[in-house]
């Protein structure tokens, strides 16, 4: 039998003023025995000791335990900075045999998600708003569907900001291929993402050439 240890997700974002971030580590496979993996932080554009507190050590799992947390301190300042990132890596997964365990030992290895990227978002400025993706592709079905479009706030999250939005037709025709929408999105203080929704018309309502 084999167990594996890996990060639950490989992408995190945290406000500079948050104070800390919790990075989740998961274990799967045979979880009947205690296990552990070595973790350590490393710089990206963020600098250890200036932007975050560097950490390293063993993340431990007791028998039957499937999730653990690595807590990393985020250091705040009053200076404007671009968003910065650093990384946490996992390695050297191993089984820890308990004294009273009489069965066969499992093998243990790190899974596919061995590195997590953490983006520190500077919140000393109002920030810049942009779409998460410039291009989105959707495939209409036999019924109307909803397309979520995410807006991100980068390089700051101080204060309340808002932005107006509206849809425009191109090869797809508003009212026939999609429901036109417009409005205003408001970001609260320290809010870093929001979502608008566009209704996509059912395929039977228009030509497949739109």
Residue 208 burial class via C-beta count within 10 angstroms: exposed 0-12, middle 13-18, buried 19 and up: exposed
Measure the CA–CA gap between 109 and 90, rounded to whole angstroms: 10
pLDDT category of residue 80 using cuts at 50, 70 and 90: low
Please give the average per-residue pLDDT across 158-167, as a whole number. Answer: 90
Stated pTM of the model: 0.62
The pLDDT value recorded for residue 16 is 87
Supply the DSSP symbol for 174: B
Please give the average per-residue pLDDT across 174-189, as a whole number. Answer: 92
In what order do the strands lie in the sheet containing 115-121?
11-15, 115-121, 84-95, 35-43, 56-61
pLDDT category of residue 209 using cuts at 50, 70 and 90: very low
Residues forming beta bridges with residue 6, ordered by sequence position = 26
Residue 210 tokens read as 């739109």
- Residue pLDDT, tens place only, 21-66: 999 999 999 998 899 999 999 999 999 999 999 999 999 999 999 9
| Per-residue burial over 62-91, b = 16 or more CB atoms within 10 Å of its CB, e = otherwise | eeeeeebebebebeeeeeebebbbbebbbe
Q: Is the pLDDT of residue 130 over 70?
A: yes
The pLDDT value recorded for residue 210 is 46
Q: By the 8 A CB rule, do 64 and 31 touch?
A: yes
- What are the CA-CA distances from residue 16 to residues 52, 70, 117, 187 (Å)? 9, 18, 15, 17
Measure the CA–CA gap between 187 and 44, rounded to whole angstroms: 28
Please give the average per-residue pLDDT across 148-156, as a whole number. Answer: 90
* Between 8 and 189, the higher pLDDT residue: 8
């Amino acid at each position: 039998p084999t167990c594996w240890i890996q990060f639950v997700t490989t992408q995190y974002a945290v406000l500079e003023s948050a104070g800390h971030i919790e990075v989740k580590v998961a274990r799967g496979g045979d979880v009947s025995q205690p296990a552990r993996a070595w973790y350590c932080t490393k710089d990206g554009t963020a600098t250890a000791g200036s932007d975050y507190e560097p950490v390293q050590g063993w993340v431990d799992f007791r028998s039957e335990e499937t999730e653990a947390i690595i807590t990393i301190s985020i250091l705040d300042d009053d200076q404007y900075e671009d968003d910065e990132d650093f990384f946490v890596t996992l390695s050297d997964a191993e089984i820890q045999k308990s004294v009273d365990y009489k069965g066969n030992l499992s093998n243990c290895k790190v899974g596919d998600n061995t590195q997590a990227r953490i983006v520190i978002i500077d919140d000393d400025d109002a920030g810049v708003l942009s779409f998460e993706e410039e291009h989105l592709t959707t495939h209409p079905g036999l019924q109307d569907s909803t397309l979520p479009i995410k807006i991100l706030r980068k390089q700051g999250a101080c204060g309340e900001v808002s932005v107006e939005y509206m849809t425009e037709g191109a090869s797809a025709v508003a009212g026939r291929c999609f429901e036109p929408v417009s409005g205003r999105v408001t970001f609260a203080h320290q809010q870093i993402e929001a979502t608008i929704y566009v209704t996509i018309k059912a395929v039977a309502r228009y030509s497949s050439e739109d």
